[in-house]
Amino acid sequence: MPRLIQILVADDHKKTRLRLAALLSHRSGWKVCGLAADGQEAVDLAKKSLPDLAVLDVQMPRLNGIEVAKAIFGYCPHSIIVTNHEVNLFAGQLKELGVKGFVNKFHLETDLVPAVEAVLSGETSFLRPISRNF
């Protein structure tokens, strides 16, 4: 029996956190191993659960998603940032930190699962540029 892919989800908005978890949990072979409401909680959960991938909101209390991605890289080398903010301004920084992709929160239903699949396959996934003009 193949091992389940463990995914950590971190977002400070409960509805979004649960929405992310629901989208990921419906995929066969994937398991959400932790839900974090802030960046420090995400770091603590990553150290305990050693997830295969983390889905991180860019703006969270205590530590933001970029800081979390940097802090957990040794425990979880695959991270995807989710945001509804302008990512083009710091996309280079994300890539330097090893972040494998980002997903626009306005397109979670269509873009999240393909982004996770791509990253788990060793690719990067910057599916849609984030823009202030939707």
pTM over 0.85: yes
Question: Would you give the end-to-end CA distance of the chain in angstroms?
Answer: 43
Q: What are 80's two structure tokens?
A: 């995807």
Quickly count: other Cβ atoms within 10 Å of residue 125's Cβ: 20
Domain formed by 5-126, architecture:
3-Layer(aba) Sandwich (3.40)
pLDDT digits (tens, 9 = 90+) for 24-75: 998 999 999 999 999 999 999 999 999 999 999 988 999 988 899 989 988 8
